[in-house]
């Protein structure tokens, strides 16, 4: 029976008991295709921002030093993920998932306009004002480290808020289109969903990053604006084909009230539940559930939040791929592309290899390994009951992330040796000249490959864990929390970067070389990140053992309860459609 507030397209439905056939997406391909296309366009716009944001702010147009530009990139990424719980709450409590995604895309488009406005010199002066004179003695204008900081950060925060609203809802919204087709259809949708995420990332890093670095940042930021317009139109036009649900209340609201009553016991008597005088044993002894699901929701949070907390050091390493790894790349020797070409004044302009292109190794690894994992490795392990649980796979991903940070630190140490021995080359990236070590950028490939492998073992099982652990009333909320703690990791990484930039520590206090990192010790920062990940790994493994033991014990019905009722006790928590592979359901 259809719930009030749900809208289904005029398409045939299958019952949940019907077996899922290869054509499980029949009748839903248009809806699923629209969601996947919108996600690809949104990811293209997102990576158009983060891919070269460090290079953009560190360039001659703004003159921010390396650590400050890197910190801005980490703050933006963190804001995008921190806003995810708000987006989930907004959908559950007020707008519903469809309207929240549409509103998020519109806000996304509005905030993204800040970047082309600052990239064009004619509009930059209007929105940012005039720059102060150079103070490094290099004769270059605009050495003000805070130039246009307020406007840029405002635009980035708006975009981050919009990303949070879209990201926390479009994932479960897409799964809603095929949930009634069974867990296998949901699993297949997530595989395609992650594929389209990486398709958008590759297109952005390959095409937009090249345009930004070698042609013009203005054109490079107009392209994602056009993509967002196209994505919003597709989502709105495909609205009649979607399965949508209206907002029916947020589980967070009830939990907040419960926590308030715990902190302020005097107010509890005013809002007591009619079941407050009944023991939990009496309520569950006859197979009934309490009217207020808040207690069960809190139990779910107690199980998932420790896992999300332990992932913070991993996200600190992961987001270096879009910040410090890029800063390191522009200080390595970049190969030329297409040779030299003459400019309008007769001088030669070198087409350099875009530093952000190495991030594509992560996306390419995912595109190659996900189908192999889904069609060969996982079925092989499943038949032999050897497929690890999601938390065990996350532990493996942490190991790969640790070695990625170690590889980056070793490369940075060798780069500094070349700089001290004057084995350097002067190269122009965009409109900024860097003194780079005579080490090819290809030495960064191992750290990118390692972080790509780690993402397969952490991000996909992390989404699986968040989706499968959440009851139906908290799917958006739990998914939002997963992204929220990702943002916490980015912010902690930014704060740690600012900490080691203090003159008293001096690891990244790089004022002597005008914002470059040749007088710094960014290798110490990489080793510190690897050490934090290494210290967290045994704690996470212990948490995994505790979590699996708790799942096994909760899946067994209490003996006394079964004897009293004369039938098996109901499960202590209701769960949504679960992934069958890799879980003990």
Q: Is the pLDDT of residue 541 over 50?
A: yes
Tokens, residue 296: 């069960």
With a cut of 60, say whether residue 554 has pLDDT above it: no
**Residue 126 lies inside a defined structural domain of this protein:** yes
Name the β-bridge partners of 425.
Answer: 436
In DSSP terms, 341 is beta-bridged to 349
Rounded mean pLDDT of 103-107?
95
CA angle 348–332–49, rounded 5-degree value: 85
Residue 293: the pLDDT is 63
Higher pLDDT, residue 580 or 468: 468
Q: Is the pLDDT of residue 271 over 70?
A: no
**Is 13 part of a structural domain of the chain?**
no
**Weakest mean pLDDT among 103-107, 220-224, 326-330, 372-376:** 372-376
More confident residue, 276 or 385: 385
Look at residue 281 and tell me if it is in a domain.
no
d(CA 370, CA 172) in angstroms, rounded, equals 20
Which run of H or of E encompasses 408?
helix 390-420
Cα–Cα dist 209/53, whole Å: 10
Paired with 433 in beta bridges are 428
- Kindly state the percentage of the chain with pLDDT values over 70: 74
Residue 385 lies in a domain: yes
Helices and strands per DSSP (H, E), number in the chain: 23, 7
Cβ partners under 8 Å of residue 94, min gap 6:
247
pLDDT for the residue numbered 125: 86
Contacts of 155 (CB under 8 A, 6+ apart): 111, 112, 113, 114, 115, 118
With respect to residue 21, please indicate whether it lies within any of the assigned structural domains. Answer: no
CA dihedral 458, 461, 466, 469 (to 10 degrees): -140
Contacts 24+ apart (CB under 8 A), 463-467: 463/171, 463/190, 464/190, 464/390, 464/579, 464/582, 464/583, 465/304, 465/307, 465/390, 465/391, 465/394, 466/304, 467/171, 467/172, 467/175, 467/190, 467/576, 467/579
Two structure tokens written together for 187 = 């699993």
Residues 535-551 have a mean pLDDT of: 85
Mean pLDDT of 362-372: 77
Model confidence at 225, in pLDDT bands (50, 70, 90)? very high
Half-sphere CA count of 194, side-chain side, radius 13 A:
25
DSSP letters for 78-100: HHHHHTHHHHHHHIIIIIHHHHH
Q: How far apart are CA 7 and CA 29, in angstroms?
A: 17
Phi, psi of 440 (to 5 degrees): -65, 145
Q: Is residue 184 part of a domain?
A: yes
Report pLDDT for 283.
35
Q: Per mean pLDDT, which range of 43-52, 238-247, 335-344, 354-363 is the poorest? A: 335-344
How far is residue 578's CA from residue 183's CA, in Å, rounded to a whole number? 6
The phi, psi pair for 308, rounded to 5°, reads -65, -35
Cα–Cα distance, 190 to 173 (Å, whole number): 11
Per-residue confidence (pLDDT) for residue 364, from 0 to 100: 78
**pLDDT at residue 341, as a whole number:** 45
Residue 193 domain-assigned (yes or no): yes
Alpha helices in 216-329 (DSSP H): 217-237, 251-263, 280-285, 294-310, 312-318, 324-329
Using one digit for the tens of pLDDT, what is the confidence trace for 495-512? 898 888 887 777 877 655
Band the pLDDT of 432: cuts 50, 70, 90: confident
Measured over the CA atoms of residue 303, residue 574, residue 81 and residue 158, the dihedral's sign is: negative
Helices (H), 120-182: 121-128, 149-176
- Domain of 186, CATH number, reads 1.20.1250.20
Taking residues 26-45, what's their average pLDDT? 92
Does the residue 575 lie in any domain?
no
Q: Is pLDDT larger for residue 286 or for residue 325?
A: 325
CB atoms within 10 A of CB 188: 19
Domain that holds residue 369: 27-130+146-241+298-336+349-554
Averaged confidence pLDDT in the chain: 77
Smallest CA-to-CA distance from 39 within 196, 154, 259 is with: 196
Dihedral of the alpha carbons of 138, 422, 71, 448, in degrees to the nearest 10: 140
Tell me the average pLDDT across 398-426: 94
240 has pLDDT over 90: yes
The sign one gets for the Cα dihedral 210, 215, 221, 222 is: negative
How many structural domains are present in the chain?
A: 1
Single out the residue of 52, 190, 163, 33 nearest to residue 108, CA to CA. 163
Alpha helices in 286-356 (DSSP H): 294-310, 312-318, 324-329
């Amino acid at each position: 029976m259809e719930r009030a507030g749900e809208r289904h397209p005029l398409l045939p439905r299958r019952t949940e008991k019907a077996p899922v056939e290869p054509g499980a997406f029949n009748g839903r391909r248009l809806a699923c295709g629209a969601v996947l296309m919108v996600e690809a366009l949104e990811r293209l716009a997102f990576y158009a921002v983060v891919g070269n944001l460090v290079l953009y702010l560190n360039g001659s147009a703004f003159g921010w030093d390396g650590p400050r530009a890197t910190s801005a990139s980490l703050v933006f990424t963190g804001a995008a993920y921190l806003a995810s719980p708000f987006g989930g709450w907004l959908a559950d409590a007020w707008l519903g998932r469809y309207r929240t995604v549409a509103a998020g895309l519109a806000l996304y488009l509005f905030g993204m306009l800040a970047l082309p406005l600052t990239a064009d010199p004619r509009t930059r002066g209007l929105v940012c004002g005039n720059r102060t004179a150079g103070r490094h003695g290099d004769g270059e204008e605009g050495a003000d480290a805070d130039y246009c900081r307020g406007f840029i950060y405002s635009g980035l925060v708006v975009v981050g808020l919009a990303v949070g609203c879209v990201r926390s809802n479009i994932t479960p919204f897409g799964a809603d289109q095929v949930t009634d087709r069974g867990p296998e259809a949901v699993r297949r949708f997530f595989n395609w969903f992650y594929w389209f995420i990486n398709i958008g990332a590759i297109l952005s890093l390959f095409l937009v990053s090249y345009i930004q670095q070698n042609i013009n940042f203005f054109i490079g930021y107009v392209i994602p604006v056009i993509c967002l317009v196209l994505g919003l139109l597709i989502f709105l036009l495909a609205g009649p084909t979607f399965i949508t649900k209206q907002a029916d209340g947020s589980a967070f609201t009830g939990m907040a009230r419960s926590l308030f009553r715990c902190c302020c016991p005097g107010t509890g008597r005013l809002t007591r539940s009619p079941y407050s005088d009944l023991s939990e044993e009496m309520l569950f002894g006859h197979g009934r559930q309490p009217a207020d699901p808040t207690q069960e929701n809190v139990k779910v949070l107690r199980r998932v939040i420790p896992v999300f907390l332990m992932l913070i050091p991993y996200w600190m390493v992961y987001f270096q791929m879009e910040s410090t790894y890029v800063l390191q790349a522009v200080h390595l020797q970049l190969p030329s592309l297409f040779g030299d070409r003459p400019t309008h004044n007769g001088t030669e302009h070198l087409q350099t290899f875009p530093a952000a292109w190495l991030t594509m190794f992560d996306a390419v690894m995912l595109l190659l390994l996900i189908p192999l994992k889904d069609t060969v490795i996982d079925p092989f392990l499943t038949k032999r009951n050897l497929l690890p649980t999601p938390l065990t796979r996350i532990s493996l991903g942490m190991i790969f992330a640790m070695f990625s940070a170690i590889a980056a630190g070793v490369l940075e140490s060798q780069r500094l040796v070349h700089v001290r021995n004057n084995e350097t080359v002067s190269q122009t990236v965009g409109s900024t000249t860097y003194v780079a070590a005579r080490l090819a950028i290809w030495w960064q490939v191992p750290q990118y490959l390692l972080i790509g492998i780690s993402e397969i073992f952490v991000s996909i099982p992390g989404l699986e864990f968040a989706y499968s652990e959440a009851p139906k009333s908290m799917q958006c909320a739990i998914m939002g929390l997963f992204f929220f703690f990702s943002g916490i990791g980015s912010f902690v990484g930014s704060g740690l970067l600012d900490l080691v930039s203090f003159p008293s520590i001096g690891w990244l206090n790089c004022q002597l070389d005008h914002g470059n990192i040749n007088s710094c010790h960014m290798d110490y920062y990489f080793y510190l990140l690897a050490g934090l990940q290494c210290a967290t790994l045994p704690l996470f493994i212990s948490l995994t053992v505790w979590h699996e033991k708790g799942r096994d014990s909760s899946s067994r019905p209490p003996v006394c309860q079964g004897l009293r009722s004369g039938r098996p006790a109901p499960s202590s928590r209701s769960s949504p459609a679960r992934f069958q592979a890799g879980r003990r359901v």
